Chain A
Amino acid sequence: MYAVQIKEIKRRENISGFFHPPIRRKMRKDYDVIKQTFKAFIDTWKSRKTDELNEIVKPNVHAYFSAVKEATDGGQHSSFGVKDFILDIPKTDEFEYAICNYVCRIKGKDAQQVSEVACTAANHDGQYFKFIAVICNSWVKENDKWLISEMRVDIKHFESPLLEQFAETWHFEEPLAVLSGLVHLPCIFSEIDSPYAKIPVAEDLLTEEEKVEECFIKFNYGIDWIMYRYVKETLADDFKNDDKRHFIAYTKFANQRYRYTCHPYITKLIEINGNNAVGMFETVIPENAEMQVEFIKEKDKWQILSIESGQEG
C-alpha cells in the first residue's frame, strides 16, 4: 500500500505544480517571479529549510494558519511565526505536494495570489495523511523584490484518517460550520481575500490557455468559498449541464453548511479552437477523477459551457 501510495505521489509530482501551456508566454517577469517564489515557499514544507524565508516573506508579515491551536484567529505573525509553522509541520517519512488552482493577479507593486496545495504525508508503516492547504497571499514589491506581506492558510483535513502526529500538533474544527464557543473561524475570508476582490483590475499577463484555466479555477473558488457571484460569472448562459440559476441555487444549498469544500485540480490539457476550448482537469484529492470542461469565449471572456466527469484513472 505504501509503495503504491508513494509511486502515485511521484507520478503526480512530474505533472503537478504548474500547468505550462505549449505556447510562448508574454513578457511577464513579475508574474513568473511570484509563481516561482510561491513554489519555493511550499518546497520549504518538504525540505524544512527555512534559511531563505526572508527572501519570501516580509519580516513583519501578517500570518494566519487555521492549524495553529493557540489562537482562535490562527494568528502567528512575523517571519518567525511562518518559520515556526513550517518547522512544526508534523514530521513524516515522506511528504509530497501538488500546487493546484493557482491564480495571481498583479497591479503595479501589489499582487494577490491564491492556491490549493494538496499534500500527502506518509510513513513507512503505510500510514498516510492527506490534506489540502488553501493559501491566500498578499505580495508587495519592495526594492525590486516580491515578498509576502500577508499570508492566510486554511487547512482542510481530507479523506484519510488523521495521523497521530497531526492530531497532536494541529487544530482542526468540525467539518460543518457551527459557530459556538471558541470556534476557530476560517482564516481566509473569500470576499476580502480573493485575488479578484483585492485586485479588481489586474494587468493582462496570462496566455489564452491560462485564461481558460483561470476561468475554471474561479468557478471552483466560488463553490468552495460560497461566492456564487463567481460561479455565475464563469458559467455561460447556455450552460449545458443544467439551468444556470438552478445549478447555482442547488450547489449553494448543498454545500453552504460545510466549513470547507475544496476542489484542487491539476490541468492536464487545454486546447483552444477559436472561441471554443476544451480543458482536461484531474483532481488530486480525491484521486484521479477527471473532468472534461468545455469553454466558450464571449465578449472577450472565457466561460464554462459544460462539465463532464471523465473516466477514473
Chain B
Amino acid sequence: MPRIDYDEIKGKFAEFVETWKTKDSAKLDGLVVPQVSCLISAAPNANDEWDKLIGIRHFVETYPKTDVLQLAIYCYACRLNGNEAQMAAHVICESLNYVDGQEEMDAFYYAIIAAAHWVKSDEGWKMDEIRLDVYPFIGNLREYFEQTWYFGSKLAEAVDGVRLPAIVGEYDLPWVRLPEAEDVLTEIEQIKEACAKKFLGADYLVNDLRITARSKHITTNAVRFGVDQGRRELVSALRYKRQRDRYWAHPYRFEDIEMNEDMTRAICRIYRVFGWKQRNHEYVWTRSNVNIEHTCNCGYQEFVKEDGEWRVADGYLKLGIYEVGPYSETYYGDKI
C-alpha cells in the first residue's frame, strides 16, 4: 500500500523536524536507522563532523536555543520505489528571542534544506541517509547561531579549505535518485510536486529538472530578469542569476487551487515564503506577530497537464510582505 507509505514518511519527517524544537533526541530512534549517515552543512569543521546517529543526535540536542522556534515545511517531495524512498523539502525557520521591555524581538531567519533517503524496515520507514543544508538569511541572532553552526561564504567559490553544500543535486534530489517512482500522488500533490521539482532543480542548479518541470508553452512575463518570452529565455536568465550563489531556496506556499473539469489545467494562489529580500525594510518580528507566518511575495501560478504530467505554466508574482495567518501545527504550511 504505497499511499500509506507516503503518508507515513510525510508524518515522520514532520516528527523529525519537531525534534529541532523539542530537542528530544530519543525520538530519533523511531526515525533513523542505527547506521544512518548524516551530512550537515552547519557542522562546525566539516559536513561530516556530525555524521552517524551520534551526529544527528548532537545536532538536535545542541540546536541553538531561543524563546521561540517556528518551523514550516514547504516544497516537500517524496518518491517511492519498493522499499526505498527519496525525499526533499525546505524547512523555513524563525528563531526568536523576547527582549525585556520591547515589542520588537531578536530574530534569525533561515532555511534548512533537507534531502533524505528512507528505507522500509520491520519498524516502518526510517531514514538511512540525511543531508541538511542551512541557508542563513537575515536577522540579528546570526552571530549567536554562529557560535554553534557554520554557514560558509555567500558566494560559490572554491578556495582552500572550501566547505561544499551537503546536498548534491545530481545525486540527492528525488527525481534523480529515484527516476522511476510509484504512482501514489493525488492530482493536487502532482501539481505541487511539479513545483517542487522546478524549484529544487533551480536551487541546486540541476537545470534539466527545472526545464522539464515547466510547460513548453510558457509565456511568463519576467521583464525584471531582462526577458519576456518563453521557457528557454526565462530559465536561461534565472539560471544565470543563480550561478554565483552558494545557496538558493524557493519554498512556495499553495492556497486556493482551482482545476478545470477535465483536470488538464489548474490555477493556484501561491506565495514565496522565503528568500526574496524586500527593497529597503525587512520584516520585523514582534510579540504580536510571533505566531504569524509571513511570505515575501504573492501571485498566481497556472499548471497544465502535458504528456500525462503536470507542468508549471504561466504565472505572476508580486514582491511584498504578506502575513498569511498562524503557523500550522502539522508543520506543513500549504493550505490545500
A residues in contact (CB < 8 Å) with B = 72-73, 176-179, 181-183, 185-186, 189-192, 197, 226-229, 231-232, 245-246, 248-250, 252-259
Say if the beta carbon of B235 comes within 8 Å of chain A: yes
Pick from A182, A192, A256: contact of B232, CB below 8 A.
A192
Can you list 23 A-B contacts (CB < 8 A)? A179-B240, A179-B241, A183-B226, A185-B227, A185-B233, A185-B236, A185-B237, A189-B235, A191-B210, A192-B232, A226-B207, A226-B239, A226-B243, A229-B206, A231-B170, A232-B171, A248-B170, A248-B171, A249-B168, A256-B156, A256-B243, A257-B155, A258-B243
CA distance A306 to B52 in the complex (A): 30
Q: Is B225 an interface residue (CB 8 A)?
A: yes
For the complex, give the distance between the alpha carbons of A81 and B227 in Å: 22
Asked if B158 and A178 make an inter-chain contact with CB atoms under 8 angstroms apart, the answer reads no
A-B contacts counted at CB < 8 A amount to 91
Residue contact A191 to B158, C-beta cutoff 8 Å: no
- Nearest 8 A/B pairs, CB to CB: A254-B158, A179-B241, A177-B243, A257-B244, A191-B208, A249-B168, A228-B170, A249-B164
Residues of A within 8 Å of B158, CB to CB, are 250, 253-255
Q: A182-B226, A249-B165, A257-B155 are in contact. Are A176 and B208 (CB under 8 A)?
A: no
The answer to whether A179 and B225 have CB atoms under 8 Å apart is yes
Chain B's closest residue to A187 (CB) is B236
Contact B226 A177 (CB under 8 A): no
Complex contact B240–A185 (CB within 8 A): yes
Query: Is the beta-carbon distance between A186 and B240 smaller than 8 angstroms?
Result: yes
Assess whether A177 is in contact with B240, with CB atoms less than 8 Å apart.
Answer: yes
CB of B43 to closest CB in A, whole Å: 16
Residues from chain A with a CB closer than 8 A to the CB of B206 are 228-229
Beyond known contacts A197-B208, A228-B170, A253-B158: 5 more, CB 8 A cutoff: A189-B232, A226-B239, A226-B243, A229-B206, A246-B164
Inter-chain CA distance A258–B239, complex, in Å, is 12
Partner of B211, one of A73, A182, A192, A253: A192
Interchain CA distance A245-B170 in the complex, whole Å: 9
Residues of B within 8 A of A259 (CB): 240
Decide: A227 and B208 in contact? CB cutoff 8 A. yes
Given contacts A73-B233, A256-B243, contact A179 B207 (CB under 8 A): no
CB distance from B302 to the nearest CB of A (A): 22
Query: In the complex, which residue of chain B has the Cβ closest to the Cβ of A251?
Result: B158
Closest to A246 in B: B164
B169 to chain A, nearest CB (A): 8
User: Does B162 interact with chain A (Cβ within 8 Å)?
Assistant: yes
Assess whether B157 is interfacial by the CB under 8 Å rule.
Answer: yes
- A262 to B164: give the CA distance in the assembly, Å: 23
Q: Determine which of B156, B169, B205, B244 lies in contact with A178 in the assembled complex, contact meaning CB atoms within 8 Å.
A: B244
Residue total for B at the interface (Cβ-Cβ under 8 A): 32
A228 and B201 alpha carbons, distance in the complex (Å): 12
B176 contact set on A, CB distance < 8 A: 229
Complex formed: what's the CA distance from A179 to B239 in Å? Answer: 9
Query: Contact at B205–A252, with CB atoms within 8 Å?
Result: yes
* B237→A257 contact, CB < 8 A: no
**Least Cβ–Cβ distance between A75 and chain B, in angstroms:** 11
Measured CB to CB, the closest approach of chain B to A246, in angstroms, equals 8
**Distance between A25 CB and nearest chain B CB, rounded to angstroms:** 32
Bound Cα distance from A190 to B226, whole angstroms? 19
A227 and B236 within 8 A (CB): no
Q: In angstroms, how far is the closest chain A Cβ from the Cβ of B119?
A: 19
* Cα-based distance from A72 to B233 in the complex (angstroms): 11
CB-CB under 8 A from A253, the residues of chain B are: 156-158, 162, 164-165, 246
Given A179-B225, A249-B164, A252-B205, A191 and B237 touching (CB < 8 A)? no
Q: How far is the CA of A277 from the CA of B210 in the complex (A)?
A: 36
CB proximity of B113 to chain A, nearest CB, Å: 15
Closest to A225 in B: B207
Cα-based distance from A257 to B162 in the complex (angstroms) = 15
A291 to chain B, nearest CB (A): 20
| A249 and B205 alpha carbons, distance in the complex (Å) | 11
In the complex, what distance in Å separates the CA atom of A248 from the CA atom of B176?
15
Cα–Cα, bound, A252→B243 (Å): 10
In the assembled complex, the Cα of A245 lies from the Cα of B171 at a distance in Å of 8
Cβ contact within 8 Å between A257 and B164:
no
Q: Which residues of A contact B237 (CB under 8 A)?
A: 179, 185
CB neighbours (8 Å) of B205 from chain A are 226, 252, 256
A197: nearest residue on chain B (CB-CB)? B208
Q: Which residues of A contact B162 (CB under 8 A)?
A: 250, 253-254
A176 touching B165 by the CB < 8 A rule?
A: no
Interface residues of B in 9-65 (CB under 8 A from A): none
CA distance A230 to B237 in the complex (A): 22
**CB–CB B207/A183 < 8 A:** no
Complex Cα spacing A14 to B21, Å: 68
Nearest chain A CB to B232's CB is how many angstroms away?
6
Q: Which residues of A lie under 8 Å from residue B246 when comparing CB positions?
A: 253
The distance in angstroms between the C-alpha atoms of A249 and B157, with both chains bound, is 12
Residue of B nearest to A173 (CB): B240
